[in-house]
A = this chain, B = another copy of it.
């Protein structure tokens, strides 16, 4: 059976960084994200076929490189084991945005692959089971299973059976919210997230981050519950700073923020200072590209500010989107 699934990327307000279990992608802390609209999307078609001698993976029209292919095959092995099948698969996947540019393509990628491949293998997973499966492919993919505001519960169990995402608030509650993305660089990351998450364990500051992150989660969770943007804005920016601080304190140091990123930070803070309450909140993943959460009302102003910053290459205005869907339009 050929199955096609669609998943959107998500951009975290409270970040996933550091694994208590590297094999199962079990995090140290809960994280919270919004799922993006269809501009940041992966569509993936999977078919298991007894005629195939090995798995075949096509990403954006070209055969996957060795590293990508190995990662996909390893993930398919997990699904084959669950479904008790031994067939090889063909996977064809298309991103609506460049890979590895800090736009969380592995989140949408593994969410779509988890959904398409598990169904194609004959599994009928609940959303929670699908979230746990996607997590094994790429941690943050577990959040892309759901739309709107999503929390990933870190869990405590060693087998990861209590580490999954759930929806905090559906996308229709956030019609006004926007993520204004400033693309500063489309190059591959200097240090992979996988490597960076290993290094953070040696940061002398990481334990302090974990001690204070629950309070930040509480503030943001409450603000989401009451749809209060201003209340969560400072917490979002402070969380991003805190993340990049522990990255810098890792050894060897990891630094993703560029001069352009710092200029964007400065401009957002100045914009907020010019209002009585914060109207925008920047957040940076493992890269220099800025994600500026704001409301529709201030969107044009922020686009204008970003356009005036030297080094901002492209601007994408993203709304809040849906979780995983299936489609009849197969890619092959």
Contacts and interface: CB of A to CB of B under 8 A. Distances in A.
Interface in A34-63: none
A205 B259 contact: no
A252 interface: yes
Given A204-B208, A209-B204, A249 B258 contact: no
Contacts of A245: 203, 205, 245-246, 248-249
Contacts of A205: 205, 208-209, 242, 245-246, 249
A116 B208 CA distance: 44
Contact of A259 (B238, B252, B258, B269): B258
A110 to B, nearest CB: 30
Interface residues of A, number: 28
B249 A204 contact: no
Interface string A249-280: 11111010111001001000100000000000
A257 B257 CA distance: 10
Interface string A201-236: 001110111011000000000000000000000100
Contacts of A94: none
Contact of A241 (B207, B251, B269): B251
- Among A238, A241, A255, the one with the most B-chain Cβ atoms within 10 Å of its Cβ is A241
Interface string A172-208: 0000000000000000000000000000000111011
The 5 closest A-B pairs by CB, nearest first: A208-B208, A245-B245, A245-B249, A204-B212, A205-B205
Interface of A: 203-205, 207-209, 211-212, 234, 238, 241-242, 244-246, 248-253, 255, 257-259, 262, 265, 269
